Structure 1
Amino acid sequence: MSSSSRERSSRITEDEINDLILKLQPLLPDSRSNTRVSASMILKETCNYLKKLHKEVDDLSERLSQLLASGSFDADAIRALLRR
């Protein structure tokens, strides 16, 4: 297979992009699946949401580390932290 034909076969089509955008939209909080939103807006919201999730994971990891480092294994506190 030539490099140009490999390039063409590995490119994502506009229809595939649109399909992926439609799949992303309902995964976002406050998503209005029945409202048409631009692809760029959905991608921006997705990036912001992922950043927010990463921050939450970092915060929860830090809190869990603090609980474990304190030496007092409060099972209820750890369960509550993990349920968030």
Structure 2
Amino acid sequence: MSSRRSSRSSVSEEEINELISKLQSLLPNSRRRGANQSLHREVDDLSDRLSDLMAGMDHNSPGAEIIRSLLR
């Protein structure tokens, strides 16, 4: 995780790791190394976007609660 992400986010690193695992399980497996690296970059980008979204929300807002429920 980048320090930029962890310092601004109200989402725990554990929650982000769970989201990454869930995203990876939804995407088809690829045997090609380049495709795996691309997938990793996409997951990292989605994690960054989620962190930025959560950082801009009130931790107790309905939107934040919806996002946390999706991570469970």
* TM-score, normalising length: structure 1: 0.41
Flag the structure with larger Rg.
1
Question: Relative contact order (C-alpha < 8 Å, sep 6+): which is higher?
Answer: 2
